[in-house]
Amino acid sequence: MNAADAYERFVRPALFCLNPETAHHLAVGGLRAASRLPFALRALESFQPPARPKTLFGLHFPNPIGLAAGFDKNGVALPALAALGFGFVEIGTVTAKAQRGNPRPRIFRYPQQEALINRLGFNNHGAEAVAARLGSLRRSGRWPRIPVGINIGKSKITPIEEAPDDYLFSFRLLGEFADYLVLNVSSPNTPGLRTLQEHDALEQLLQVIHQENQITRKPVLLKIAPDLSLSELEQLIETCEKNDIDGIIATNTTLDHRAISGSLDQAGGLSGRPLQERSTEFVRAITARSRLPVIAAGGIFDAASAREKLEAGAQLLQVYTGYVYRGPGLLQEIARGLYL
């Protein structure tokens, strides 16, 4: 029995018996413990996919399949996630101030649709605590040998007009640990956050980060919503190019819940299979209008859906909900199937 079969027959049913957030904390906690145990890391390496090297942003990726932000919000399990075979890992979203996020329940499974809805609200330990943890990891000699991205967002209590300074605080603290940084302006679960995608607000934010980045010189990406209109997307691309953004992550979760029946619907961002087509459309639209590299996220569950993103123009891939449903075998399936 291969890893994918074992996960889907035994591990996933056990996890899906638990509350979604409890299952998530159990998974992250297990990987956190494994990160400190050499024998556990060696065991996890059995899941590693074949190498499919890729160079982008001046960084070397052993394969193009990364873990999206949202799984390891606080950077507690990087060694184990690298051992599992991800080509890169993005931690966060990290905010300047520690915050609990929205009230529970705030994660909902839809197995029939292979989807999740979450309204977590950037629950994380805050930039100072995460920076301290990453510094300790680096000094320990256990820092992973894959690119590490850090996704930053606005603290909920920070007024929207003060957002640039809020992002700047996190950028300064976390920049030294990041191979690339992501400005998350597209989560639907922080009130007003998506207004930062509008031209004037985005221009102000990107100018502040660009000025600071003259010192750090790290690749900076923007993570966008799949709910933008085509004209809004075109204006956003123009603003990114004008302010030397290095790439776009397409996309975050969607507020389009048509895939979920009304009685079961919940507030929050929808991810998984129902997002696949829309996110691919965004990848195709961006690459048709710009040379900005795109990291594709949304509805990647197998080699076919991964290949779809690459054929649309994506340079790299990120999984999250697909990994929840398919488990460690997903990476091997994608890597082996991409170039058949």
CATH number at residue 230: 3.20.20.70
- At residue 113 the predicted structure's pLDDT band, cuts being 50, 70 and 90, is very high
pTM, rounded to two decimals: 0.98
**In a 10 Å sphere around its CB, with 0-12 CB exposed, 13-18 middle and 19+ buried, how is residue 94 labelled?**
buried
Rounded to whole angstroms, how far apart are CA atoms 162 and 66? 31
User: Six-digit token pair at 320?
Assistant: 């999250």
What pLDDT, in 10s, does the model give residues 265-288? 999 999 999 999 999 999 999 999
Task: Give the up-direction half-sphere exposure of residue 123: CA atoms within 13 A in the CB hemisphere.
Answer: 14
Average per-residue pLDDT for the chain: 97
Q: What pLDDT does 3 receive?
A: 65
The CA dihedral of 108, 110, 113, 115, to the nearest 10 degrees, is 30
> Could you give the C-alpha distances from 240 to 173, 223, 290, in angstroms and in order?
23, 11, 10
Q: What is 278-330 written as a DSSP string?
A: HHHHHHHHHHHH----EEEES---SHHHHHHHHHTT-SEEEESHHHHHH-THH
Sorted by sequence, the CB contacts under 8 Å of residue 178 that are 6+ apart come out as 148, 149, 150, 218
State residue 261's pLDDT score.
Answer: 86
Pairing of strands 220-224, 54-56: unpaired
CB 250 within 8 A of CB 286: yes
* Per-residue pLDDT tens digits for 282-313: 999 999 999 999 999 999 999 999 999 999 99
The residues that are catalytic are 187
Number of domains in the chain: 1
Per DSSP, 83 falls in state H
52-63 residue pLDDT tens? 999 999 999 999
Mean pLDDT for the stretch of residues 62-70: 98
- Residue 44 is predicted with a pLDDT of 96
Average pLDDT over residues 164-187: 98
- pLDDT beyond 70 at 340: no
Mean pLDDT of 130-156: 98
| Residues of the domain holding 247 | 3-337
Query: Using CB atoms within 10 A of its CB, is residue 212 exposed (0-12), middle (13-18) or buried (19+)?
Result: middle
